[in-house]
Chains A and B, each alone.
Chain A
Amino acid sequence: MQRTSDQASDTKRWGAGALVFAALAMVGGMSNAYVISLLTIVLLFTFLGQSWNLMLGIGGQLSIGHALFVGIGAYAVAILNIKYGVTPWIGLLLGAVIAGFVGAVLAWLSFRFEVRGIYFALLTIAAAEFARIMFGGWDYVGGMQGLFYQAPSGTMDLGMLRGDARFYYFVALALAAIGVAGTELISRSYWGYVWRAMRDDDEAARALGVRTFRHKVLVVSISAATAAIGGGVLGLVQGAIFPDSIMGMAISVDVLIGPVVGGLGTAFGPLVGSMAAIPLHHAMGALGDSLGLPGLNSVAYGAVLILVVWFLPDGIWPAIVRLYGAIQLPARGRISQLRKAEE
């Protein structure tokens, strides 16, 4: 009996997801260049947010240094493509492998010596900053001057992942869809159950036979590898990469803002959160420029974070789900249910 209701809500979730992405695909066909480029960034950070979400929202491991993995992916693609003319597909794969390895080593060393929780998070910042400074001083990869892709010729080339803004919009859309569907699939797989168990209570999970050490290393490694794929595409979209921008703290923050605002550990949260936060960030940036108030966008970011943490600590998406559930009830139960949802 319960199993059928599970399946019904499964169909609903997948149906809703398909509709959302179909709508986004249609947007890609008609809108103006500014909207397209903004949404491309939103969708890329949806994918990156999913990678981060996998690690904290499902695996329970906090990273504030995801820029490390984003940067590794971006540099892997750029070095191979710009210096050797190798297709970005290979670069994406190689970047993912390297980042996955770096993530696994970082996690292994850290958890092996009982560096956990917030201390692990500090270690991720340190590792990202170390890499940023190292790349900045490394002449082979252009140092602080960075690396530049050739200007796109305008013709679409799927093999070399080059094309116009619209082409990258659809690449980002595909990644975001993979991110949302992948999160959904993983959280309901063997890994998902085991990871959520260790996220909720490490000791209790171990008592139930979960080898939490290896699963923590695994989740960090997979998260790092997927972040590198997002980073590789981000570099292509931006057309140039610099250590300060692609491996800086700002990227680490941008990556986590989507899932935190949208809803940690949920499949749709990072999409909803990125949709809400990134356009606001850009709009406030533009407003700040015209008013002569630089930094207005960062203030807006901070304000949104505080408001969300204060009023919707689970994030926006779970609040929408609760509201929807309440509307479906008969009118009489609605108010009390809404109140309950508020609590």
Chain B
Amino acid sequence: MTALLEVKNLTKAFVGLVAVNDVSFSLQAGRITALIGPNGAGKTTCFNLVAGALRPTAGQVLFEGCLLEREPPEAVCRMGIARTFQIVRPMKDMSVLENAMVGAFSWTTNVKEARDKAYESLENVGLAGKANARTDQLTLPDRKMLEMAKALSTRPKLLLLDEVMAGLRPTEAAGVVGVLHRLAESGLTILLVEHVMRIVMEVASTVVVLHHGAKIAEGKPSEVVADPAVLESYLGAGFHA
């Protein structure tokens, strides 16, 4: 199995705080990997380091064997890594379709091609019927799906999803899970930062657990939830299953 993305000894120190401390893991092509951990564990920092939005203090991120170093977010995107934001960020004065078109302009300047790709992305996440809607007419789950459609239009090899399920009701989250499974089957590699444990168990083939910035466990979901260190980080010391 080949690793699409390798994170080696990644460290990010802010003033007075080491948010990510010597974390290493790799993402297998075509798999869904989840990055989990309690609040303040460093998940989003780690995510932003991979996406190029932050620069590491030490350590490396290798994508397809190439070192990502000082690449700005737009260059990272053009290499094939697309991301979503934890808080949805639609372009508010553009229609749903136009929002989905923007990503396509990272690889084409042809408007028709971009429009076709945008329809395809919207269909992938079940939003094609709302292509001409304004983004403020969308429900929260639809906006989350639009974030994914925007990212998909960039033709990514790796999709980074920052808490796509946060704030969704269980039935809505189930819909997202279905979409993720379909995308993974089509060969897309996905890294998920997630809080909702139940969903992680359903979709991820590998789980990486962070606590206080350090990796404390990695493995299949069933192994990870049985790990005493993980239980301790989530539920406090002295807890035993």
Interface flag for A206 (CB, 8 Å): yes
Q: Enumerate chain B residues within 8 angstroms of A342, measured Cβ to Cβ.
A: none
Interface flag for B151 (CB, 8 Å): yes
Q: Which of B82, B89, B103, B109 contacts A190 (CB 8 A)?
A: B109
Q: Enumerate chain B residues within 8 angstroms of A190, measured Cβ to Cβ.
A: 105, 109-111, 114
Q: Which of A2, A6, A199, A208 contacts B106 (CB 8 A)?
A: A208
B114 near A193: Cβ-Cβ < 8 Å: yes
A179 and B91 alpha carbons, distance in the complex (Å): 25
Q: Which of B53, B91, B131 contacts A2 (CB 8 A)?
A: B131
B74 near A200: Cβ-Cβ < 8 Å: no
Q: Enumerate chain A residues within 8 angstroms of B73, measured Cβ to Cβ.
A: 203, 206-207
Q: Tell whether A208 pairs with B94 under 8 Å between CB atoms, given A188-B111, A193-B105.
A: no
A206 near B131: Cβ-Cβ < 8 Å: no
Instruction: Write the B59-80 contact mask toward A (1 if CB under 8 angstroms, else 0).
Output: 0000000000000111001100
Q: Enumerate chain B residues within 8 angstroms of A5, measured Cβ to Cβ.
A: 132
Q: Enumerate chain B residues within 8 angstroms of A259, measured Cβ to Cβ.
A: none
B94 near A197: Cβ-Cβ < 8 Å: yes
A267 to chain B, nearest CB (A): 14
Interface flag for B177 (CB, 8 Å): no
Q: Tell whether A209 pairs with B94 under 8 Å between CB atoms, given A189-B111, A193-B111.
A: no
Q: Enumerate chain B residues within 8 angstroms of A2, measured Cβ to Cβ.
A: 97, 131-132
For the residues of A in contact with B, the DSSP-based class is helix
Interface flag for A37 (CB, 8 Å): no
Q: Enumerate chain B residues within 8 angstroms of A66, measured Cβ to Cβ.
A: none
Contact size range, B: 35 or more
Q: Tell whether A210 pairs with B132 under 8 Å between CB atoms, given A196-B91, A204-B91.
A: no
A343 to chain B, nearest CB (A): 12
A207 near B51: Cβ-Cβ < 8 Å: yes
Interface residues of A in 1-19 (CB under 8 A from B): 2-3, 5-6
Interface flag for A194 (CB, 8 Å): yes
A196 and B135 alpha carbons, distance in the complex (Å): 14
Interface residues of A in 168-200 (CB under 8 A from B): 188-190, 193-194, 196-197, 199-200
Minimum CB distance partner of A3 in chain B = B115
Q: Tell whether A193 pairs with B102 under 8 Å between CB atoms, given A204-B89, A208-B77, A209-B154.
A: yes
Most buried by B among A6, A204, A208, A265: A208
Q: Tell whether A212 pairs with B93 under 8 Å between CB atoms, given A190-B111, A197-B102.
A: no
Interface flag for B194 (CB, 8 Å): no
Interface flag for B6 (CB, 8 Å): no
A208 near B132: Cβ-Cβ < 8 Å: no
Interface flag for A205 (CB, 8 Å): yes
Interface residues of B in 169-201 (CB under 8 A from A): none
Q: Tell whether A200 pairs with B154 under 8 Å between CB atoms, given A194-B102, A207-B85.
A: no
A205 and B92 alpha carbons, distance in the complex (Å): 12
Q: Which of A3, A193, A209 contacts B74 (CB 8 A)?
A: A209
Q: Tell whether A208 pairs with B82 under 8 Å between CB atoms, given A189-B111, A194-B102, A197-B94.
A: yes
Show 24 A/B contacts (Cβ-Cβ < 8 Å), sorted by A: A188-B111, A189-B111, A190-B111, A193-B111, A197-B102, A199-B93, A200-B90, A200-B92, A203-B89, A204-B85, A204-B89, A205-B102, A206-B73, A206-B77, A207-B74, A208-B77, A208-B82, A208-B102, A208-B103, A208-B153, A209-B103, A210-B102, A210-B105, A212-B74
Given pairs A193-B101, A193-B114, A209-B103, 17 additional interface contacts (CB within 8 A)? A6-B132, A190-B114, A196-B91, A200-B90, A200-B91, A200-B94, A201-B91, A203-B89, A205-B91, A206-B74, A207-B51, A207-B82, A208-B77, A208-B82, A209-B74, A209-B107, A210-B105
A contact residues vs B (CB 8 Å cutoff): 2-3, 5-6, 188-190, 193-194, 196-197, 199-201, 203-212, 265
Give 6 closest A-B pairs by Cβ, nearest first. Answer: A209-B106, A200-B91, A209-B77, A204-B89, A197-B102, A190-B109
